[in-house]
Amino acid sequence: MILFIVAVYMLAMLAIGWWSNKYYIKGMTDFLLAGRRLGIPMCAATLAATHFGGGMVMGGSEYGFLYGWSGAWYGVSCGIGILILAFTTAGKFRELALYTVPDYLEQRYGGKTIRILGSLLSLVALVGILAAMVLSARGALSILGITGNTGAIIATLVFIIYTALGGLWAATITDGVQLILATLGVILAAVLVVSKSGGMAALSTALTAKGVGSGYFSFWGLGTSSIMWLLLPTVMYTLIGQDFYQRLFAAKDKNVARTASIFGGIILVVVAFFPTIIGMGARALSDLEAGGTAFPWVVQNLMNPVVGGIVLAAILAAIMSTADSLLTAATSHIVKDFWIETFQVDEITDEKRLLAISRNFAVILGILGLLIALIMPGIIDALIYSYTMYSAGVFVPVIGGVLWKSATREGALASVVIGSVIALWGILTKANIFGAPVEIYAALISLVVFIVVSLATQSQKTHKAATAK
């Protein structure tokens, strides 16, 4: 029964891809940006689903198992990031009618170099995270007894096919379905573990008997510094991530982008607590020593086949909703930032030709993510480090470019290079500066460089202008 439900879910995703291709996809803009026609419900759902992946579901339950209520902070941080996006750059960036974040960097500062650096760092990170999602899918399908790489291959082929067929339209529609399914799944699982425990009071009693401390039942149990070091990097990436901005660029207008971000953020903040409850319940009801298998344990041991099938489909939905977002975002970098803008192979005029190219690259990138996951899994961490370097190097120029009109191209470029290099140094040396994550102190150094170089070059330009007169 579980296998049947999962199979039906996957076939439904493929059907949505086919349907999106038939009725919505006419050119590259439809494929990469859903024709810039997303309304509030669809835009909010796809924004939330982009964050609501394997990290929030599997990682959230693991954190709940280990840290109790404060384990919800990762998911809450995701929601806060999108809420901040709503009140800062969401409307402004949509108004610019861009395709990618590097589009903004080049438009704001001028020159191709900053576009190439930003695109490359983002692309490598997106492929790395995509590979990680492949491994998450393999782990989820192992519950069905689909061991080895078969599960990863099946799940990956499904999201490659529906994304290559329907692009962001398919990703958005499936994200909506997947968000509903994933939300219902984690709520159902959370209610079940609480019920099996005899209620929240009994659950707390059972956990206390297992030796958890009082901090386990506090939302602030991790401590202020740990919470801040979890919150800040998540928010930083959300404010510059191509997978999020692609959805904002696809909104009908700036008001839709802003409003959808508010609703998407609220959804994530609320939903974040349910995986935490699942992890806490698994700790109370099982003899597990590690939290990584908390959610699968609940599915396998507490649920009948029908409910287990729905919840497992929910786990896959969460993973695949993130995977298709990563795939469309990576494709937009290849097509727009490299194929069109850097190498100037095509103009944005022949939409049908660019549509074919976009589809081809979506397939290539999806297969690349699969191969990395199955053949070179050890490289995934190295690729994801680009996520850290991207945040450290690009955050300041993007946000600084919006907030400070006097920022210069030289300041932005120096900021990207120094921030990324410092982040790489921190990764390689495992440098610990006041316990802060590497992207935080690298971004602070990047900010200083951004300001100093911008002021210096601005003064030089002012002096030259005055001399010329």
| End-to-end CA, the chain | 81
**% of the chain exceeding 90 in pLDDT:** 74
Of 1-5, 70-74, 436-440, which range is least confident?
1-5
Q: What is the pLDDT of residue 54?
A: 75
What mean pLDDT is predicted for residues 220-225? 92
CB atoms within 10 A of CB 36: 16
> Three-state SS for 433?
strand
**% of the chain exceeding 70 in pLDDT:** 98
Evaluate if residue 201 carries a pLDDT over 80: yes
Distance CA 59, CA 56 (A): 5
> What rounded mean pLDDT belongs to the chain?
92
Distance CA 112, CA 354 (A): 21
Query: What digits encode the pLDDT tens for the residues 242-251?
Result: 999 999 999 9
Evaluate if residue 463 carries a pLDDT over 50: no
Query: What digits encode the pLDDT tens for the residues 101-157?
Result: 999 999 999 989 999 999 999 999 999 999 999 988 888 888 777 777 888 899 999
Distance CA 315, CA 140 (A): 7
Nearest Cα to Cα of residue 236 among 453, 449, 441:
441
Note the CATH number of domain 2-385: 1.20.1730.10
Of 2-11, 23-32, 362-371, 409-418, which range is least confident?
2-11
